[in-house]
Structure 1
Amino acid sequence: MPRKPRVEYAGAIYHVMSRGNRGDPIYRDGRDCETFLDTLDEACGRTGWRIHAFVLMGNHYHLLLETPEANLVAGMKWLQGTYTQRFNARHKLWGHLLQGRYKAIPVDRDAGGGYFPTVANYIHLNPVRTKVFDLGQEKLVDYRWSSYPLYLRPSKRPEWLVVDRVLGALGAGDDRAGREWYRKHMQKRVLEIAGNDTPRESDPAWDKIRRGWFFGSDDFRRELMVRIDDGLKGKRASSFSGEAIREHNEAEADKLIVQGLGKLGVLPGQLEGMRKGAPAKMALAWLVKKKTVVRNEWISERLSCGHPANIPGYVRRVELADGGQLAELKEILKSED
Structure 2
Amino acid sequence: MARQPRLHLPGGVYHVMLRGNGGREIFSAEGDYRYLYGLLAEGVGRFGYRVHAFCCMSNHLHLAVQTGEETLSRGLQNVAFRYARRVNRREERIGHLFQGRYKAILVDRDSYLLELVRYIHLNPVRAGLVAEPEAYPWSGHRAYLGKDALPWLTTDWILGQFGGRLGVARRRYQEFVHQGVGEGHRDDFHGGGDDTRLLGDDEFSKEALGAEYSPLAARVSLDDLVTVVCDEWGLPEGALAIAGQGRRVSDVRAAVGWLARELGCATLAEVGRRTNRTGSSVTSAVQRLSARVAQDRDLSERLERLRDRLSAKFATLHA
Query: In structure 2, do the counterparts of structure 1 residues 216 and 234 end up closer, same or farther at CA, with 3 Å as the change threshold?
Result: closer
| Correspondence for 1:168 | 160
Larger Rg: 1
- Asked if the contact 2:21/2:96 (under 8 Å) is kept, the reply is yes
Bigger CA drift: 61-70 or 51-60?
61-70
| Correspondence for 1:49 | 49
| Correspondence for 2:271 | none
| Correspondence for 2:176 | 185
| Correspondence for 2:114 | 117
By how many angstroms is 1:229 displaced? 3.6
Query: In structure 2, do the counterparts of structure 1 residues 28 and 69 end up closer, same or farther at CA, with 3 Å as the change threshold?
Result: same
Query: In structure 2, do the counterparts of structure 1 residues 73 and 241 end up closer, same or farther at CA, with 3 Å as the change threshold?
Result: closer
The runs of 5 or more residues in structure 2 that have no matched partner are: 223-259, 266-319
By how many angstroms is 1:145 displaced? 0.4
| Correspondence for 2:188 | 208
Query: In structure 2, do the counterparts of structure 1 residues 174 and 33 end up closer, same or farther at CA, with 3 Å as the change threshold?
Result: farther
Q: Distance in 2 between matches of 1:21 and 1:45?
A: 29
Q: Distance in 2 between matches of 1:55 and 1:207?
A: 18
Q: How big is each residue's C-alpha offset from its partner over 1:9-32, in whole Å with a ceiling of 9 and x where there is no partner?
A: 321211111100011111112221
| Secondary structure, counterpart of 1:53 in structure 2 | strand
- Asked if the contact 2:51/2:153 (under 8 Å) is kept, the reply is yes
- What pairs up with 1:54-203 in 2 under 5 angstroms? 54-110=54-110, 113=111, 115-133=112-130, 135=131, 139-153=132-146, 156-169=148-161, 171-173=162-164, 175-190=166-181, 192-193=182-183, 199-200=184-185
| Correspondence for 2:2 | 2
- Asked if the contact 2:8/2:215 (under 8 Å) is kept, the reply is no
| Correspondence for 2:219 | 234
| Secondary structure, counterpart of 2:109 in structure 1 | coil
Query: In structure 2, do the counterparts of structure 1 residues 148 and 230 end up closer, same or farther at CA, with 3 Å as the change threshold?
Result: closer
Q: How big is each residue's C-alpha offset from its partner over 1:283-334, in whole Å with a ceiling of 9 and x where there is no partner?
A: xxxxxxxxxxxxxxxxxxxxxxxxxxxxxxxxxxxxxxxxxxxxxxxxxxxx
Q: Distance in 1 between matches of 2:215 and 2:199?
A: 20
Q: How big is each residue's C-alpha offset from its partner over 1:42-101, in whole Å with a ceiling of 9 and x where there is no partner?
A: 222211211000000111101100111232111111110000111112222222100101
| Correspondence for 2:284 | none
- Asked if the contact 1:163/1:174 (under 8 Å) is kept, the reply is no
Q: Distance in 1 between matches of 2:109 and 2:133?
A: 26
Q: Distance in 2 between matches of 1:121 and 1:40?
A: 20
Q: Tell me the amino acid that sits aligned with residue 216 of structure 1.
A: G
The runs of 5 or more residues in structure 1 that have no matched partner are: 194-198, 201-205, 246-337
Identity %: 36
- Asked if the contact 1:13/1:66 (under 8 Å) is kept, the reply is yes
Query: In structure 2, do the counterparts of structure 1 residues 214 and 174 end up closer, same or farther at CA, with 3 Å as the change threshold?
Result: farther
- Asked if the contact 1:7/1:224 (under 8 Å) is kept, the reply is yes
Q: Distance in 1 between matches of 2:100 and 2:209?
A: 24
| Correspondence for 2:204 | 220
| Secondary structure, counterpart of 2:34 in structure 1 | helix
Query: In structure 2, do the counterparts of structure 1 residues 161 and 129 end up closer, same or farther at CA, with 3 Å as the change threshold?
Result: same
Q: Tell me the amino acid that sits aligned with residue 99 of structure 1.
A: Q
Greater RCO, CA 8 A, separation 6+: 2
Q: Tell me the amino acid that sits aligned with residue 144 of structure 2.
A: Y
Q: Distance in 2 between matches of 1:39 and 1:56?
A: 14
By how many angstroms is 1:168 displaced? 2.9
Asked if 1:17 is matched to 2:10, the reply is no
- Asked if the contact 2:6/2:215 (under 8 Å) is kept, the reply is no
Query: In structure 2, do the counterparts of structure 1 residues 75 and 226 end up closer, same or farther at CA, with 3 Å as the change threshold?
Result: same
RMSD across aligned C-alpha pairs, in angstroms? 2.5
